[in-house]
Amino acid sequence: MEVDLSKRTGNIMLYALTALLSFVVFTSPVGADQKPPPRIEPRAVVRMLENRENIVLVNVASFLECMDSRIPASLCVACAEAEGRADLLTRDRNAKLVFYGGNAPVEESCEVIGAAQRAGFANLYILKGGLTAWKRAGYETESVNRIPRVLGPALKPVDLKAWLNTAPAALMIDLRSPAAYRSHHIAGAVNMPLASLHRTYQDLPLDRPLLVIDVDGSRSFLAASYLQRKGFENVRRLEGGMAAWQTGNKGGRHEGAQPSLRTRALFRPDCLSGHRGELVGGERSGSGRPRREDLAVVSPVTVAPFTRRDFNLPLTAGIPV
């Protein structure tokens, strides 16, 4: 009896392809094929509220920014800290969720939106223009814990290297997301995202000059004011943020990734990897955030004291001071 090997091989390939397609369909995350939420004007949100629709406002900026200024009764769930927090949005999957940020527009890739889609929420919207547009339209906002602004010194990008030479113990704090930091950052800077600064500030040394760096200079003012309020007296911000620094350093050298931030040597000014003030690109190991013991080798006075309770608080709770 002759066996048609070509036919049998074809059947095997067909079965394998069918199994593969089934695996892809059933293991794809819920919401992966959903369309991005539509962007709506502030007036449309107000109409929803006036009509007493089931609407939940979600501020996806950092916790500090949300507590500082937000639309009344908003939830605070930062894009960078959305993992495992979708259950905090609301139990009603028919509710209309309206996401908004501060000065920066909400990206469709925001993990809070993705988490809401995977959780089964269908009525999702993004507030066009964010909190800035809401304020410009004259609508009400609230401040749960307003951070008093302090007119501290701003450092121009062109003066960065000279300042580092005069302040060798200075610590540069990159407030951007871990992904943005991995993409490119200034050599010698450590990553402390603004989204978690209300917790991680306690890891910073009190006796070293600090320079806070954001994307475009719009958020470092709040961060610097917050740190000064917490007892850090020598705080500067990079004027214009990374955008201004890169504009003035287009010829800057790209270096390889620095060692993990979990090495003690990286936090000693005389052992910093690379040339401080240069652009560094590429991946790096470690979590991107210094450990308390890493900073402790610098000096006997190292970290801010624990003067507040742990931040396992409801989303609408204020900032302990």
Predicted structure pTM score: 0.69
Write the CATH number of the domain with boundaries 154-295.
3.40.250.10
CATH fold of the domain at 39-136 = Oxidized Rhodanese; domain 1 (3.40.250)
**Local confidence band at 105 (pLDDT 50, 70, 90 cut-offs):** confident
- Per residue in 283-297, pLDDT (tens digit) is 433 444 444 433 332
Query: 71 with 59: CB under 8 angstroms?
Result: yes
Please give the full DSSP string across 155-198, using - where no structure is assigned.
Answer: E-GGGHHHHHHH-TT-EEEE-S-HHHHHHEEETT-EE--GGGHH
Q: Average pLDDT for residues 272-285, to the nearest whole number?
A: 51
Gap between the Cα atoms of 35 and 118, Å rounded: 13
Gap between the Cα atoms of 179 and 176, Å rounded: 8
Q: List the chain domain ranges.
A: 39-136, 154-295
Would strands 279-281 and 184-186 be described as parallel, antiparallel, or unpaired? antiparallel
**Local confidence band at 320 (pLDDT 50, 70, 90 cut-offs):** very low
- Per residue in 160-185, pLDDT (tens digit) is 999 999 999 999 999 999 989 999 99
Strands laid side by side in the 279-281 sheet = 184-186, 279-281, 254-255
39-136 shares its CATH topology with 154-295: yes
Between 267 and 308, name the one with better pLDDT: 267
